[in-house]
Amino acid sequence: MVDRSAGPAGSREWETLSRQYWDAVQQWQQAAASAAPAGAPPWQQGLATWSQLFGDAGAQGALGERLLGAVKAYLEQTQALLAAGGAGPEAIAAQLGRFMHAGFDATGGALGEGGIAEALRKLGADGARGFEQLAAGLAPVFGTLSAEARAAFDRPAFGFLRERQEHQQRVAQALIDYQTQTRRYDALMMRAGQLGAVRFQDKLAERAASERPVESLRALYDLWVDAAEEGYAEVAASMEFREAYGALVNAQMRLRSLLREDVERISVDLGIPTRSEVDSIGRRLQELRRELRGSRDAGGRSLAAEVESLRAEVAALKAGGAVPAPARAKTAKTERASPAPRARGAKKASAPKPRRPAKKAAGGFEARVAQFARTAQPAAPRARKAARPTDKKR
């Protein structure tokens, strides 16, 4: 057992043990390719060495990479936490804060250094390249500009290139705003790290008080994760984070949008269709589809109503009663289908033909109704042939 309160002596013992670890890794790998580096090498170096030799995950390459990344971070963190344990809670807190901020690299950089901004920046949407180039090229310049120099972006533009100048001023302002919001977000992530450290100390104190010491690396790590998540959740649920998060996303969208305007202007000059034009076509097409479907559905409903009305008439005729008034407004077709009144004294009326049997007359009428009914079916969609292959992901 190492006495962590022993100060420098304890540290020396740590170094010895770490070297033993390295030796064991070397032995286990049975690879004499590389010699152990001087000093006390971090544990994850052993992992890095063997993963280069054996870390091929075949078809599961992406998972293999995530796995190695996570375990590397785990080893780094547990070793550092364990070593810091000898120097007291403050050292643990400092270590934890470091991991919470920079150590989110183990999460693929998900939260460190801009977090959401970084995730958005990596998107492959149009304008991304221009965005990256501009952000990388101009960030150091704008980052160091004095307030007075920045105020120049507000000065009125004039002359032949006035619009272009105003646009560039807006881009510059948007970039500065984006950088400001990124720093604000990073500061909150830093605070999440500090809060996580406090939570971790609380948890350790609780373990000490309840005489349930942490006895394994994994248990130490799990406790750290709990603390880190608690610290993060507290910040992420705050109103300040909500505002900073929204402001950062909005700032990047403004910048992207302005850069897209640049790209589109150049595209127009070169005769290349722009994103706005494609969007416009897509929008009109979708509106047309809606109109077409709406007309078709309305037509179907109208026919269905007509058929319903005719059926009611047939039923009434069969029953020998008066023809009921249609429940809904008659359409032009139903009006045409009704027997047309004839002028009194007309030629045909003077020479009446023998009446057909009612049944036959009704049957002919029914046939017409059935014809309508057949044409009034589109409301229920037909199943298309299922021969088409399933849509694949891009």
Partner 1 sequence: MEPIKIDPAKALDEALNLQRKLAEGFRTLREVDDVDFGVTDKEAVYREDKLVVYRFKGDRKPTAKRPILIVYALVNRPYMVDLQDDRSLVRNLLALGEDVYLIDWGYPDGADRWLDLDDYINGYIDRSVDAVAAHAGVDRVNLLGICQGGAFSLCYAALHPEKVRNLITMVTPVDFHTPDNLLSHWTRQLDVDLFVDTLGNVPADLMNWCYLTLKPVRLFQQKYVGLVDILDDKTELENFLRMEKWIFDSPDQAGEAFREFIRDFFQGNKLLRGGLTIGGRPVDLRMIDHPILNIFAEQDHLVPPAASRALDGATGSEDYTQLAFKGGHIGIYVSGRAQREVPPTIHDWLAARP
Instruction: Please report, as residue ranges, which positions from 12 to 41 form the binding site for partner 1 (by CB under 8 A).
Output: 13-14, 17, 20-21, 24-25, 28
Q: Which stretch binds partner 1 (CB under 8 A): 76-84, 143-151, 172-180, 314-322?
A: 76-84
Q: Based on the shown chain and the rule CB under 8 A, indicate whether residue 6 belongs to the binding site for partner 1.
A: no
Nearer to partner 1, 94 or 217 (CB): 217
Nearer to partner 1, 235 or 337 (CB): 235
Q: Based on the shown chain and the rule CB under 8 A, indicate whether residue 353 belongs to the binding site for partner 1.
A: no
What is the Cα–Cα distance from 287 to 270, expressed in whole angstroms? 29
DSSP 342: -
3-state secondary structure 353-393: CCCCCHHHHHHHHHHHHHHHHHHCCCCCCCCCCCCCCCCCC
Nearest distance from residue 373's CB to partner 1, in Å?
15
Q: Based on the shown chain and the rule CB under 8 A, indicate whether residue 131 belongs to the binding site for partner 1.
A: no
Q: Based on the shown chain and the rule CB under 8 A, indicate whether residue 188 belongs to the binding site for partner 1.
A: no
- Exposed/middle/buried for 335, CB within 10 Å: 0-12, 13-18, 19+? exposed
Minimal CA–CA distance to 134: which of 292, 278, 261? 261
Q: Which stretch binds partner 1 (CB under 8 A): 148-156, 162-170, 223-231, 362-370?
A: 223-231
Quote the tokens at residue 266. Answer: 């150049």
Which stretches of 237-381 are DSSP H helices? 239-270, 275-319, 332-337, 347-350, 358-375
The residues, any chain, with a CB within 8 Å of residue 329's CB and separated by 6 or more, are none
Nearer to partner 1, 172 or 192 (CB): 192
Q: Based on the shown chain and the rule CB under 8 A, indicate whether residue 263 belongs to the binding site for partner 1.
A: no
Nearer to partner 1, 106 or 172 (CB): 106
Residues 285-304 that bind partner 1 (CB under 8 A): 285-287, 290, 293
Nearer to partner 1, 20 or 371 (CB): 20
Minimal CA–CA distance to 101: which of 234, 218, 232? 232
What is the Cα–Cα distance from 363 to 338, expressed in whole angstroms? 15
Nearer to partner 1, 217 or 362 (CB): 217
DSSP 352: P
Nearer to partner 1, 199 or 334 (CB): 199
Phi, psi values for residue 232, rounded to 5°: -65, -45
Q: Taking the CB of residue 49, how many other CB atoms lie within 10 A of it?
A: 20
Nearest distance from residue 390's CB to partner 1, in Å?
7
Residues 106-125 that bind partner 1 (CB under 8 A): 106-108, 110-111, 115-116, 119-120, 122-125
Helix (H) or strand (E) holding 45: helix 43-54
Q: Based on the shown chain and the rule CB under 8 A, indicate whether residue 64 belongs to the binding site for partner 1.
A: yes
Q: Taking the CB of residue 196, how many other CB atoms lie within 10 A of it?
A: 28
Q: Based on the shown chain and the rule CB under 8 A, indicate whether residue 139 belongs to the binding site for partner 1.
A: no
Q: Which stretch binds partner 1 (CB under 8 A): 315-323, 325-333, 361-369, 382-390?
A: 382-390
Among 45, 80, 104, 176, binds partner 1 (CB under 8 A): 104
Nearer to partner 1, 213 or 354 (CB): 213
Residues 308-337 that bind partner 1 (CB under 8 A): none
Nearer to partner 1, 39 or 61 (CB): 61
Q: Taking the CB of residue 191, how many other CB atoms lie within 10 A of it?
A: 20
Nearest distance from residue 33's CB to partner 1, in Å?
16
